[in-house]
Amino acid sequence: MGSLFAELARRATTNARREVETYAREIPEFGILDTDPRAMSETLEYAVWFRRRTVELSPDNCELSDDDLDHISAMGELRAGAGMSLDARQRVLRVHTALMLREINEATDAQRDGRVDELMRMMAWFAPQGERGIGAYSQGFVTVLRRRLPYAEQVALLARSLLAGDSMAAELASAVDMDVSDYYAVIVFRVPDRPTVADPARESEIETLVKTHRVPVTWAPENGCGSGELVILVPRPSGAGKTVRDLAPSSSDSGDPWPDGPDVSALVRDFAQALARPCAVGAATAPLADLRDALERARRISRAAPLSGPSTRLRTHTVADVFVELAVSDVPFVDDWLRTVARRLEDGPDLLLTLDAYYHHDMHRGTTATALNVHTRTLDYRLRRVRELTGIAPGSTQGVRVLSAVVTRRLSGAWG
């Protein structure tokens, strides 16, 4: 055994104790180690065992055996059985990996005659066997979750793990009979008046839709905006998001906004009916590694998008639909000016809803009148009334720019 490996073997117990102390100090769920001697002993024993096996196997680049992987998996089961959260599990893996690398560096620095080849052999072993170990640990963790959690909660864990970039996503997906895609559309339903107490019947209906559409779904944590957010991850074909079609406004009548992927329109319609409350929908596409950023974009889009009632056809908005409103929301004096314009329309006969239909139907008088169930002369009167109250012609370039933003901001609920 080379000097690096001998030094690591000598330090195994000390390094293991440091790791356990770090868990107890930095991860709240490990606070029990300070009051539970048995839990402390088991955690320390495992940490020492892993370091000794590393020293035994790495000099000759031997793989972890099936018994080793079973032991690691059992630790994953033990941690999940104790109620460890996914967030805590990720932190454990990060702390463990960081400390193992630190220990290798410290042992290398302690050698005066250390050879580079020993360090290279250790690192060549560490990466692939570390990945196998994490896989076994995750498998054990998921085994317990599968026994204890209802299907809908397992799917919610999968959604959160995909959004967090958690390596356990593949194991969770297998447990709920889904595949992990390379690309997703992140769809956010903003539900301003979601009840604080869950409705079992509604949650059961959502679970049925999850099984029907086979997509990861979760309620997002409280976002501080006073709205509930239902997040759905829709798998997309490889290379999606690179075409103009993916960036085009999705509220058109041309069909599904992503025709080469799952039927998103049907999915949105079904979930909107299940929610049975006014909501707004935002969507953003991204590769698997960038889902967290896509979620934030979809959230912002949903907050800028207009609310629609449960009986109204719900539109899925992308950045192309509300880019003006997204920019306006960050410029208070412009937003205040638009709000002033909106106030001038409040006394008119359904002028805001008329403008909404007018722009949604590309300013076509006939289809707009039909959608509003009024005569075209009535529509013309309302459009003239808008011009009289605001000094802006709805069909002009300025009208499209200003009044469409006014309508969307008002219907989004941003102004109360």
Is CATH 1.10.10 correct for 3-148?
no
Decide if pLDDT at 172 tops 70: yes
Distance CA 285, CA 316 (A): 13
Torsion sign, CA atoms 386, 390, 396, 400: negative
**Per-position b or e across 391-402, b if 16+ CB within 10 A of its CB:** ebebeeeebbeb
Decide if pLDDT at 324 tops 70: yes
Compare 56 and 112 and report the one with higher pLDDT: 56
Q: Average pLDDT over the chain, rounded to whole?
A: 86
pLDDT in tens, 275-316: 888 999 999 999 999 999 999 999 999 999 999 887 667 888
Query: How confident is the model over 168-182, as a mean pLDDT?
Result: 90
Please, where are the H alpha helices in 165-263? 169-175, 200-213, 244-247
CB 257 within 8 A of CB 267: no
Distance CA 158, CA 152 (A): 10
Domain range 331-412, its CATH number among 3.40.1830.10, 3.40.50.620, 1.10.10.2840, 2.40.50.100: 1.10.10.2840
Query: How confident is the model over 62-90, as a mean pLDDT?
Result: 90
pLDDT in tens, 238-280: 655 544 344 444 443 333 444 444 568 888 889 998 988 899 9
Beta strands 217-219 and 280-287, pairing class: unpaired
- State the amino acid at position 131 in one-letter form: E
- What is the pTM for the complete model shown? 0.78
3-state secondary structure of 313: coil
CB 230 within 8 A of CB 275: yes
Sequence spans of domains, the chain: 3-148, 184-323, 331-412
